[in-house]
Amino acid sequence: MQSLKRMLGYCPHPPLEGSPEQGVFYYETHWLKTEIWDFASSLDGLVGFTILYGLLFLASLIALPVVGTAEEYQLILLRVASAISLTIALLYLYSKSRSTSFLSLGRSRLMLSLAESLIALIAWAVLLIFFGAISGSYYLGGSAPGHWSALPISLLVGLLGGLTVYGYSAPKFEKGMGTLLAIILSSTIGALLFFAVSMNYPFVFLPMSVLMVYVSLQTGSAIGPIVATSLLFAFFSLWSFSPFPVGFLQPTYGSIFAAILSGPLVALIHPRLAGITQ
Amino acid sequence: MRPGSLSQKALLGSLITLVLLFSVLSALKLDYDNHNPEVLNAIGDNPGVLAAFQKLQDLTPQNAIIFAWWDYGTAIQHYGLRTAVVAYPSSDIINSTGMGQTVQGRLELQLFGRFESSQKIHDVARAFLSPENEALTIMKQYGASYVLVFYADVCKSGGFSDTAKFPWIARIAGENFSNYLTISSQSSQQGSCYPQYLPGPDAGNSTMLRLVFNSQFPPQHFNKIFENDVARIYQINYP
């Protein structure tokens, strides 16, 4: 059994003939197989997240002054924005000291990345709203007016967070451990930034975060996902700290289904868009 | 490119697990700290509520201990500069708090929250549900000399309402709130706030409700020293 698994682990193609058991073994080993292609690059990616969440933890120790509710959310966002800015500065110094690449933005594929990200964002948002409307279980609406003033800072948080997740860690993970692990790790740890700014429904964003890391790695450019994430932060910050949160489980399920449908759509249009934008 | 060795995989796997756990912990800590000053910030937006807390500075001696439900404890200390008998929930009443309504909030409270002893919280709840003579024994035990209650409905006081909190306080005291308070979800007149809280058959036996509905049940051992449109401060007259 062990030798069969080992053999199938190295097999570069699926079995065309043979017993169904062989197929099961092949696909089990195929999906469970993880390889480290570049240990140092994997570590660099982890260093990025360690610095980011280390600084966010330190930022949490800074007590915010008592202000009105309108200013409260601006201060929360400012605290997080400062921690991410410092993270980016430290990552720059770290990359310099190790003579490795700092940010991989993929400026040459900017248009493709922007187009795919915005299509993914719109498809996901429309489907999310649609599932809410047909199930009648949640709705998006009724912002707290004070939060409009937080809009520019939430855009900034999305931008800086996107730079760290899509521009720094995700490409390093991809180089180090392959695309699948890069998507899982970057989206899971990256989506925690939504927790850090206390959006009322952080799990709603995890499927979208998976989709954005996928687009970032597929197009080879982080710019589109950074823009889309900034828009997402800005839009949903209007509802944060709202006395009427949209709910918890239902929008999360809606988001998962929306992302499951949007993902293949983006994959389908990728070759066509790549041809147009080249 | 040659794949990494098993030891590299093990090391990286361990590091990923550590980073993941640390990231979750940091994000939850930030979320908890973001929500922590929410009540104090909300008070700043509500002049009547703010005035009630600030009045404690003018009307009570510096060493005064204020008896109030725990929700107001941190505000009594921050705005009133006085000591509150209780300022935090106990770990066994997490499900009665706003944060305790979600799994994530309960986890954050367990990890980072500050708690009063369960005995203290239950004593305060029991005092508010008991007749005055029994309440005085508990209040004296904690050295309290003043009581702060918020009598206005939620529409007026933005959530600072003891009648709205009463069902939970009664449950914590082990009592059935409906014996003391009737909740009417029907608006009696257009534009009025609902649900409306009206005294129930045993309301006169609850010290809290005597202080809230003071015209129907005039308190015997409490002197009103302050009243505005949302709150009252009483001085306790121990026999």
pLDDT at A1: 47
- Tell whether B31 is within 8 A of chain A (Cβ): yes
- Stated pTM of the model: 0.83
pLDDT at B154: 74
pLDDT at A111: 92
- Tell whether A60 is within 8 A of chain B (Cβ): yes
**What digits encode the pLDDT tens for the residues A32-49?**
567 788 999 999 999 999
- Tell whether A184 is within 8 A of chain B (Cβ): no
Quickly list DSSP for B113-168: ---B-HHHHHHHHHHHHS-HHHHHHHHHHTT--EEEEE-S-HHHHTT--HHHHHHH
Give the C-alpha separation, A185 to A208, whole Å.
Answer: 14
| Cross-chain CB nearest to A53 (options B26, B35, B40) | B26
Q: Are strands B222-227 and B231-236 parallel, antiparallel or unpaired?
A: antiparallel
Give the C-alpha separation, A226 to A17, whole Å.
Answer: 45
The reply to whether residue A72 touches residue B8, judged by beta carbons under 8 angstroms, is no
pLDDT at A258: 92
Give the C-alpha separation, A7 to B86, whole Å.
Answer: 66
Residues of A in contact with B20 (CB under 8 A): 185, 188-189
Give the C-alpha separation, B199 to A106, whole Å.
Answer: 68
Task: Identify the helix (H) or strand (E) that includes residue B181.
Answer: strand B181-184
- The ipTM is 0.82
CB atoms within 10 A of CB A89: 11
Residue A103's SS3 state is coil
pLDDT at B101: 79
Residues of A in contact with B28 (CB under 8 A): 195
CB atoms within 10 A of CB A210: 21
Q: How far is A206 from chain B (nearest CA, A)?
A: 13
pLDDT per residue, tens digit, chain B (239 aa), is: 566 677 888 899 999 999 999 999 999 999 888 887 778 888 888 889 999 999 999 999 999 999 999 999 999 999 999 999 999 999 999 888 888 877 888 899 999 999 999 999 999 999 999 999 999 999 999 999 999 999 987 777 777 899 999 999 999 999 999 999 888 776 555 556 667 888 889 999 999 999 999 999 999 999 999 999 999 999 999 98
Compute CA distances A244 → A177, A200, A239, whole Å. Answer: 42, 9, 8
A67 neighbors B41 (Cβ within 8 angstroms): yes
- Tell whether B106 is within 8 A of chain A (Cβ): no
Residues of A in contact with B8 (CB under 8 A): 36, 39
Q: Which residue of B has its CA nearest to A68?
A: B41
Nearest to A120 by CA among A214, A235, A183: A214
Task: Identify the helix (H) or strand (E) that includes residue B95.
Answer: none
pLDDT at A278: 63
Give the C-alpha separation, B156 to B230, whole Å.
Answer: 7
- Which A residues in the span 189-248 are in contact with B, Cβ-Cβ below 8 Å? 189, 192-193, 195-198, 202, 241, 248
Residue B90's SS3 state is strand
Exposed (0-12), middle (13-18) or buried (19+): which is B24, by Cβ within 10 Å? middle
- Which B residues in the span 49-88 are in contact with A, Cβ-Cβ below 8 Å? 78
Nearest to B64 by CA among B147, B133, B151, B188: B147
Nearest to A58 by CA among B39, B25, B21: B25
The reply to whether residue B19 touches residue A189, judged by beta carbons under 8 angstroms, is yes
| Cross-chain CB nearest to A76 (options B9, B24, B34) | B34
Divide the 278 residues of chain A into consecutive groups of 10 and give the mean pLDDT of each group: 48 52 51 76 95 95 79 88 96 94 90 94 91 77 63 92 96 93 94 82 85 94 95 77 56 89 90 76
Residues of B in contact with A248 (CB under 8 A): 102
